[in-house]
Amino acid sequence: MVAIALVIAGFTAIYLQRVSMINAIDTALTARVDDLSSLIIDGSIPTILTAPGDDNSLVQVVDGTGTVIASSPNIAGENPLSDAQPAPGAQVVTTQALPIGEGDFRLIARTVPAHDQQFTVYAAADLQPVSEAVGALAAILAVGIPILIALVGVTVWIIVGRTLHPVEAIRGRVASISEQQLDRRVPVPDADDEIGRLARTMNDMLDRLEGSADQQRHFVADVSHELRSPLSAIRSQLEVDLAHQDRADWSTTSEEILDETLRMQRLVDDLLLLARSDTHTMPAIYDSVDLDDIVLDLSRKMQPSISIRIDTSRVSGAQIIGNPDQLTRLVRNLLENAARHADTVIRVALTEGDSAATLIISDDGPGIPIADRERAFDRFTRLDEARDRDHGGSGLGLSIAREITRHHGGTIMVDEDPLGGARFTVVIPMAPRYGETSNSASAGG
């Protein structure tokens, strides 16, 4: 592109140089013709005329009979310069060869009527100086433009090469990173430019990929560990009973196996819900739900199975648009989490505002340290590692609660209850934020 631009610029410069020089010649010749026309009209035409410029210029006056009556010294005694005969008062400007020269001349011819006659004034200038000047310029450009193109090419090659060297380094490093080497990072240039920002962005991406891979490995390890416990219990019970069939209590064994199977089923259901949440394929929100009925019903069913009092005196009516099954699971998980940590009482409050319902479930247990409150929602997280797995749960309850809340366009947070213990606050909009209602009919139908 630079070469094309320079070539076009070169031809343009040559053309403009020629046009400029010819225009200057035309101006000088026209001024001399004007002077001679005035002399003819005044009747004072000298025999020897001065030509504009140097010896390359010619001036001649011819009367109506074709006789040369005056001329410049360099063409004294010559025949008329041209047979051009403009109309009276008119002028002709042309480029042509003349009988007295070898090259082209710039010629101006004008017919001047005076004293009952018609005189023709010729003024001409040799174009050889123009050709020589234009040729010299063309020669300079013919040599200079290739040199300039070469310099530009080398300069661009060096600058672009240096500029893209960090990109090549980044590409090489990325090409060498495998799934076992996600801890490696691309080199970051010192300059704070687009390439530097690209390198930092790629390192941020690698950080996210490494974190995701680590999370996936931990997730698989935790799932394997969680499934191993009930499977090991089932296998051990069956092996013992089969080894001592005469003393085996198959009724008790069946109940224990059923409990462990239900435990695995709950874990698989939890994992399935989280997987659907990760892939944004959770069931659509489609119905009007009385959230207070869910809270009161679950509290009433849970109360007989625990020794802790559930206080629902601050539960008021609240109706939202949502998925009844998911909202039931959300409330159940929060109640079960509170029941595992409470000492004497679980307090439940539900209020309805102008645009959202607020559910608060708190306990009087040890609470959650500030540093661990965000981590409490991570999958397979047990803040009290001393608890056994049966008492501590699978560590998925709060994660599922958060995903369900997000799916309904709400927020969930944990802080310290004024009376001690942990307080979970869930805020859910009264209506869906993402148009789920409009899609629910087709989903439900």
For 436, the token pair is 């789920």
Q: What is the DSSP letter of 375?
A: G
Dist CA 51 CA 31 (whole Å): 11
Residue that terminates a domain, selected from 117, 132, 147? 132
Please count the residues of the chain. Answer: 445
Average pLDDT on 403-427 reads 90
Same domain for 313 and 245? no
Element (H, E) at 28: helix 2-42
Reduce the DSSP state of residue 247 to 3 states and report it.
coil
Strand arrangement of the beta sheet that strand 68-71 belongs to: 68-71, 57-62, 117-126, 104-114, 91-97
Give the distance, in angstroms, between the CA of residue 244 and the centroid of all CA atoms in the same chain: 70
Q: What angle do CA 440, 444, 445 make, to 5 degrees?
A: 115
Q: Are 49 and 35 in contact (CB under 8 A)?
A: no
Q: Give the pairing of strands 356-363 and 91-97.
A: unpaired
Q: What's the pLDDT band for 437 if we cut at 50, 70, 90?
A: very low
Same domain for 106 and 127? yes
Same domain for 17 and 122? yes
Same domain for 291 and 237? no
Same domain for 225 and 308? no
Same domain for 425 and 294? yes
Report the range out of 70-74, 114-118, 309-313, 386-390 with the highest average pLDDT: 309-313
Q: Give the pairing of strands 287-290 and 68-71.
A: unpaired
Q: What is the DSSP letter of 71?
A: E
Residue that terminates a domain, selected from 278, 307, 326? 278
Q: Quick check: is 52 in a domain?
A: yes
Residue that terminates a domain, selected from 278, 311, 329? 278
E-strand spans in 254-394?
A: 287-290, 309-315, 319-322, 345-352, 356-363
62: domain CATH number is 3.30.450
Same domain for 259 and 364? no
> In terms of residue numbers, what domain contains 237?
194-278
Same domain for 83 and 210? no
Same domain for 103 and 244? no
Same domain for 340 and 299? yes
- pTM summary value: 0.50
**Number of compact structural domains in the chain:** 3
308: domain CATH number is 3.30.565.10
Q: Quick check: is 185 in a domain?
A: no
Q: Are 60 and 79 in contact (CB under 8 A)?
A: no
Q: Quick check: is 138 in a domain?
A: no
Dist CA 94 CA 87 (whole Å): 15
The whole-number pLDDT of residue 93 equals: 93
For 67, the token pair is 């006789």
Same domain for 202 and 300? no
Which residue is it, tokens 């979970």? Answer: 424
For 370, the token pair is 């500030």
The rounded radius of gyration (Å) of the Cα atoms in the chain is 50
> What are the pLDDT digits (tens) for 159-184?
888 888 888 888 888 888 877 777 88
Q: Quick check: is 18 in a domain?
A: yes
Same domain for 82 and 28? yes
Residue 248, pLDDT > 60, answer: yes
Residue 276, pLDDT > 80, answer: no
Q: Quick check: is 233 in a domain?
A: yes
Q: Quick check: is 357 in a domain?
A: yes
Residue 431, pLDDT > 80, answer: no
**Please, what sign has the CA dihedral across residues 360, 303, 262, 323?**
negative
The average confidence (pLDDT) of the chain is: 84
Q: Quick check: is 16 in a domain?
A: yes
Which residue is it, tokens 């119905």? Answer: 287
> What are the pLDDT digits (tens) for 314-362?
999 999 998 898 899 899 999 999 998 899 999 999 999 988 999 999 9
Q: Are 382 and 361 in contact (CB under 8 A)?
A: no
